[in-house]
Amino acid sequence: MKLSVIIPVYNEVESIETILKRVQGTKLAHEILVVDDGSMDGTRAILKKLDRKKGVRVILHEKNRGKGAAVRTGMSAAKGDVLLIQDADLEYDPRDYPELIKPIQEGLADVVYGSRFLGRAHRVTMFWHLVANQMLTLMTNILYNTILTDMETGYKVFRREVIDGMVLRANSFDFEPEFTAKILKRNFRIFEVPITFNPRDYAQGKKIKLHDAFEAVWTLIKYRFVD
């Protein structure tokens, strides 16, 4: 099994080298695709030095297009037969990779979600973000008749065949509900595994905002009735 790790990046100069070292430290990634989405804080200068070293391949967007657009670029360029999405902000720990890929390796799943709400260690932080995440997951379960615990998780791992022929349009954080809606409608086998989570707050550079939650709601409703 060849694992492609896709890392969308926007203005993460403080964390990009650390996350790359952590991903490389797992010794599980066949390739690490870093898609810089128009960073302006010095991230790009670091990435240009790291490109083509220790499995890292850097792709540059000329302007900021959003996380979804960066993930889609990474998907198109990935060569592995299993793809894993990794945020660059250190909220998610690559030491969870063995558990994330195990259900796929064993032939039990087509898609694996790393759930922040299944009991693993996590930093205590913003209450209303927790509420928003739980409400969006509840809406997903009602609309698509499923039992997910964490629809918005950044850790999504899947076999390449899952996205063959799938048209993804999301450019922003609406990637999470669009991808989830489309795999649920196609009846792919989804497993959830617990992950460690170390969320940052707005003072530390967190980017997702309240309007992104409303966009997620609309996305879930829209793709329930269209493809």
The pLDDT of 158-180, averaged and rounded, is 96
Do residues 36 and 10 touch, judged by C-beta distance below 8 A? yes
pLDDT at 37: 97
- HEC profile for 5-50? EEEEECCCCCCHHHHHHHHHHHCCEEEEEEEEECCCCCHHHHHHHH
Tokens of 78: 């990935």
From CA 154, how far away is CA 71, in angstroms rounded?
11
The pLDDT of 26-45, averaged and rounded, is 97
pLDDT at 130: 78
Mean residue pLDDT of the chain comes to 92
- Give the HSE-up count for residue 23: Cα atoms under 13 Å, Cβ half-sphere: 28
pLDDT at 200: 54
pLDDT at 63: 96
Predicted confidence (pLDDT) at residue 153 exceeds the cutoff of 60: yes
Residues 66, 153, 125, 139: is their CA dihedral positive or negative?
positive
From CA 76, how far away is CA 163, in angstroms rounded?
10
pLDDT in tens, 94-142: 999 999 999 999 999 999 999 999 876 666 666 777 788 899 999 999 9
pLDDT in tens, 193-205: 999 998 855 555 5
The pLDDT of 67-77, averaged and rounded, is 98
Q: Which domains does the chain have, with CATH numbers?
A: 3-225 (3.90.550.10)
From CA 99, how far away is CA 120, in angstroms rounded?
12
- Percentage with pLDDT > 70 across the chain: 91
Tokens of 212: 């992104």
Q: Which of 48-52, 70-74, 135-139, 199-203 has the lowest mean pLDDT?
A: 199-203
- The identity of residue 116, as a single letter, is R
Query: Which residue has better confidence, 213 or 116?
Result: 116
**Whole-prediction pTM value?**
0.92
Do residues 101 and 110 touch, judged by C-beta distance below 8 A? no
